[in-house]
Amino acid sequence: MAESTSFPDAKPFRCSVVTPEKVVLEGDARFVALPAHDGEIGLLRSRAPLVCKLAAGKLRVETETGMEVFFIDGGFAEMADNELTVLTEDARRAEEIDRAEVEKLLKEARAMEVHDPASMRERERAIQRARAQLRVSSRQ
């Protein structure tokens, strides 16, 4: 379900969201908000070239038909010559997220045993990923 648009007069640019398994989105966008590793970044046409590391979180893509919301699981984004490419391990539309399943994953992540710094990072990443999915699925 698409939310209302906030940039109706913005000129479109190409936007692709790609996972190792499939192309999740490919088409024109008027505005995109990315969850960069250090905060959210908003993109419009004619933006200066950009490459950034992404965090797990909400990706918002405004198209002619409205706002589409996705969960993305980190990765990288590149904006050059009015083309945005988002490469991520996982991307799902907000309405495809099963809250009950994600709440179960969050509970399991919190219960993970920590034996060393690597297992601590793995536990924290699993918790952050689950929390991000819950935020995206609530569409707030």
Question: Per-residue confidence of the chain (140 residues) as pLDDT tens digits?
Answer: 444 556 767 899 999 999 999 999 999 999 999 999 999 999 999 999 999 999 999 999 999 888 999 999 999 999 999 999 999 999 999 999 999 999 999 999 999 999 999 999 999 999 999 999 999 987 54
Q: What pLDDT, on the 0 to 100 scale, is given for residue 140?
A: 41
Cα angle value 119/125/127 (rounded, 5°): 105
Task: Clarify whether residues 82 and 123 are in a common domain.
Answer: no
Q: What pLDDT, on the 0 to 100 scale, is given for residue 27?
A: 95
Q: Which residue type, as a one-letter code, is found at position 83?
A: E
Please list the alpha-helical segments (H only) found in the chain: 99-111, 117-138
Q: What pLDDT, on the 0 to 100 scale, is given for residue 18?
A: 97
Task: Clarify whether residues 87 and 102 are in a common domain.
Answer: no
Q: What pLDDT, on the 0 to 100 scale, is given for residue 116?
A: 95
Q: Provide the domain limits for residue 114.
A: 97-138
Task: Clarify whether residues 37 and 76 are in a common domain.
Answer: yes
Strands 50-63, 31-36: parallel, antiparallel or unpaired by DSSP? antiparallel
Task: Let me know if residue 74 belongs to a domain.
Answer: yes
